[in-house]
Chains A and B, each alone.
Chain A
Amino acid sequence: MATEKIIMAGFGGQGVMSMGQLLTYAGMIENKQVSWLPSYGPEMRGGTANCSVIVSDTPVGSPIITEDATAAIVMNLPSLTKFEGNLKSGGNIIINSSLIEKKASRTDVNAYYVPANEIANEIGNNKVANMIMLGAYLELTKVVSIDTVVEALKKVFGPSKQDLVPLNKEALERGANSVR
């Protein structure tokens, strides 16, 4: 891994921001250089949310991702439409096929279709669809290990929510399995 530039996008409530923060946190734990940049602005409820995460072996320059994204994780259709063009040739796009029927239109990128909401429902909680997507991304790129993300989760959740860790860990692993 030299520099991974990931755009994560979906609608508000899908856990796009926290998925990005977790990856950033995990990168920091693994002593990599990291940045997390959210979109901010007047958004309506149910509107779109996205963040840009950079994980690198060398210091992060601009935290902004333009048309040089190495990966995009898209949780809903508007996000696919909006961010597919930001991928560089050969990049990975992970598409939540539970909510997006459309296929990727570009042929010079690697598209993976993960039924994140269906898998999340199978393991009993629709809210972990974001962890399914993150698990798939980590399996494809090995930017950080799933164990480190779990370590980050434990810190982010704090002592009162440790019971949620196993579910999230399972979600990450099921996500990884889905693209194996």
Chain B
Amino acid sequence: MDKVLMKGNEAIGAAAIKAGCKYFFGYPITPQNELPEFMSRELPKIDGVFVQAESEVAAINMIYGAAGTGARVMTSSSSPGVALKQEGISYIAGAELPCVIVNISRGGPGLGGIQPSQADYFQSTRGGGNGDYRHLVYAPASLQEAVDLTIEAFDVADYYRNPVIVIGDGMIGQMMEPVEFKEPKKRELPNKDWATTGTKGERRPNIINSLALDPAELEKHNIKLDKKYKEIEKNEVRYEMYKMDKAEVVMVAYGTTARIVKNAIDALREEGINAGLIRPITLWPFPNKAFNEIPDTAKALLSVEMSMGQMIDDVKIANEGRLPVHFYGRAGGMIPTPEAIMDKVKEIIGGGK
């Protein structure tokens, strides 16, 4: 298929439709508005449904209900809106329903700003909702990757019966790049025999529920969920290693920040300074194993984020105390420059300057 030039928000919407998503529930918030706008225009054309809910809380609970029928469903929002959805996400994870949630994130805390930010790392990977639950988090760095991962997210959600988050910042949402809608690699997906599609008097009712008052029952459920999460950790980790050859400083960055870091690495290498990048594509599960592939030349790790330092915890866990871990970040919608990242790398290499 030919490449088309699309805005990120629209490309994610088109990818969802390509993946068979026919139902979208959302509530407006910048910088993701083009996504629901696109869905409101396109879904009716394919006999789908777009609902602008009265709030983010309502939207995620509509997702809960629609996902219970086995349909492919999606909602999208931006940081404070996704915060409002956390209770619903916990319920959906508890009830083991598949859905895709897109977060085109912005600066926080609170209402924050509307410019690009990665300050929702904790929210995405630790879960803002209650209880022992996990969900996959995809962090695309380009629009093509956003399209590919959104399409795949629906399969992964169905496969594990679990919510999947796709997180991009405002830059991913607002920029335009050429994208191609490729057929995803096929996964064997189980039948949705759990869905509430009507018994027709022929089977016992399916029940969608996250309440379990018997502690022994609930523990059994927790253990079952945990087994599933371990399976996800084993099978679904994604990352990219960039220019690790002889790297003295290994940076860790995801999403659009990783692209800026790549520019910095290219420029550093032109100056004869070897730096490399580990780019987590899944934030959860975090690519711990990538840290075993770091070359012996490495003297330090540098976590680069558009936040005050949230991924740095996972970097330290994955590092297991092997190398010193440094941090460089900008926050509030400010974007790091390649030059500032280069300076930080030079400062690390130069030692106590």
Show the binding face of A for B, using Cβ within 8 Å: 21, 24-25, 28, 34-38, 40-42, 60-64, 66-67
Contacts and interface: CB of A to CB of B under 8 A. Distances in A.
A35 B176 contact: yes
A21 B259 contact: no
Given A41-B115, A61-B262, A61-B266, A28 B178 contact: yes
Interface residues of B, number: 23
A76 B233 CA distance: 53
B323 interface: no
A12 B263 CA distance: 31
Given A24-B176, A34-B178, A40 B335 contact: no
B250 interface: no
B175 A61 contact: no
Contact of B3 (A28, A61, A66): A28
A40 B259 contact: no
Centre residue among A21, A25, A40, A62 by max chain B CB count within 10 A:
A62
A28 B3 CA distance: 8
Contacts of A21: 5, 176
5 contacts: A24-B176, A35-B176, A40-B174, A61-B262, A67-B339
B337 interface: yes
B170 interface: yes
B260 A62 contact: yes
A36 B175 CA distance: 6
B309 interface: no
B177 interface: yes
Contacts of B335: 64
A36 B176 contact: yes
Contacts of A63: 171, 175, 177, 256, 259
Interface in B168-184: 170-171, 174-178
A41 B114 contact: yes
B31 A62 contact: no
Centre residue among B170, B171, B175, B176 by max chain A CB count within 10 A:
B176
B294 to A, nearest CB: 22
A28 B144 CA distance: 14
Centre residue among B115, B175, B338 by max chain A CB count within 10 A:
B175
Given A25-B5, A41-B114, A36 B177 contact: yes
A36 B174 CA distance: 9
A21 B178 CA distance: 11
What 8 A-B pairs are tightest by C-beta distance, nearest first?
A36-B176, A61-B263, A62-B260, A62-B259, A37-B175, A28-B178, A66-B337, A62-B263
A64 B177 CA distance: 13
Contacts of A40: 30-31, 114, 170, 174
A37 B263 CA distance: 17
A62 B3 contact: no
Nearest to B260: A62
